[in-house]
Amino acid sequence: MSNSELIKKIPKAELHLHIEGTLEPKMVFQLAERNNIKLPYANAQELAAKYNFSDLQSFLDLYYQATDVLQTEQDFFDLTWAYLEHCAEDNVVHCEIFFDPQSHTSRGVPFADVIQGIHKALVAGEEKLGITSQLILCFLRHLPEEDALKTWDEAQPWLSLISGVGLDSSERDFPPNLFANVFAKAKEAGLKLVAHAGEEGPAQYIEQALDILKIDRIDHGVRITESDELMDRVAKDNIALTVCPLSNVRLCVYSQMQEHPLLELLDRGLRVMINSDDPAYFGGYMNQNFHAVDEALNPSKEQIILLAKNSILASFLTDQEKQTWL
């Protein structure tokens, strides 16, 4: 079997995926029309032509602007359903999806509409496509913790639909320790904890996320390569890193895929796997990320199998559920 065939066939989980990052230019235009919104672009091609990023912030500016077209429960349902169809195509059998309630409630969209639209699509995804899923509420770190605490309060009626909380948006100058109180509350409520750390921020942010926020899994985490000591600790404690190869290249964390440390981290015994982050913006869904890695880094079949296996092992499925896929 070729690597390409193996990538296609092997079951995998996606653990780092922002549902707002699956909003394709075509859907931006469809939803803008449905919701009577005038866009500053003539068409989807003109919007897609702007997807030329120099760093995380240059992406986030466009990403938050595009989310304005998401207004109704149906919009969130349609967005999520379209992503699940990509999962089915790529043999993603389980996904753990981030959503950013603050980017919607700040525009007057009720929390209930956001979460119900996403949740109903996830239920349909399990029934119709056999894809299991969990939801992770992310706090926006460029906003004060006070805002995150308000969002935590708003989330209370919906906690049964949420498995965990995360931390995303602009990393530089917004270290994890700013969010210690809201993460402590989520931990007390029994939720899983994750945080973006070491994407653009230094390895110390990964350490802070582990020591202060007490996270269960690190999102991105690639700048861990700056600290041998931290790599040893994370390997020993089996803390997973949800790595996003195309994202890292498109946001200029690495100037080309050949420089990506994914396989070095894997060979060092860290629990890394492949994810798509914001596939509508970064050039592809799960299998396109695998193919880009395959082309640039030339992994062995064993390495591909281990990357897929790590995605299942690092998921928040129960040990029994994981066994189905191992």
Instruction: Give contact residues for Zn ion (rule: CB under 5 A).
Output: 277
Among all residues, which ones are annotated catalytic?
199
Residue 45 to residues 25, 141, 172, Cα–Cα distance (Å): 7, 31, 31
Min dist CB 234 to ligand HPA, Å, is 19
- Residue 289: which of Zn ion, ligand HPA, none does it interact with, CB under 5 to 8 A by kind? none
Q: Least CB distance from residue 23 to ligand HPA, whole Å?
A: 11
196 is in an annotated binding site: yes
- Measure the CA angle with vertex 212, ends 245 and 21; round to 5°: 30
Residues 116 and 157 sit within 8 Å (Cβ to Cβ): no
Name the binder of 56 from Zn ion, ligand HPA, none, CB < 5-8 A by kind.
ligand HPA
Which residue is closest to ligand HPA by CB?
A: 168
Quote the CA–CA distance of 17 and 19 in Å, as a whole number.
6
Contacts of 86 (CB under 8 A, 6+ apart): 22, 92, 279, 285, 286
Query: Is 100 annotated as ligand-binding?
Result: no
Is 220 within any annotated ligand binding site?
Answer: no
Distance CA 141, CA 119 (A): 24
Question: How far apart are CB 324 and ligand HPA at their closest, in Å?
Answer: 29
Does 18 belong to an annotated binding site?
yes
> Which residues have C-beta within 8 Å of that of residue 160, sequence separation ≥ 6?
none
**Contacted by 207, from Zn ion, ligand HPA, none: CB < 5 to 8 Å by type:** none
Which residue, 170 or 310, has its beta carbon nearer to Zn ion? Answer: 170
Cβ-based nearer residue to ligand HPA, 73 or 199: 199
Q: What gap in Å lies between CA 206 and CA 197, rounded to an integer?
A: 5
Residues engaged in binding ligand HPA (CB under 6 A): 18, 21, 56, 168-169, 196, 199, 247, 277-278
Longest dimension (CA), the chain: 54
Q: Indicate the residue among 117 and 166 with the shorter CB distance to ligand HPA.
A: 166
Which residues does the annotation place in the binding site for Zn(2+)? 16, 18, 196, 277
Which residues does the annotation place in the binding site for substrate? 278
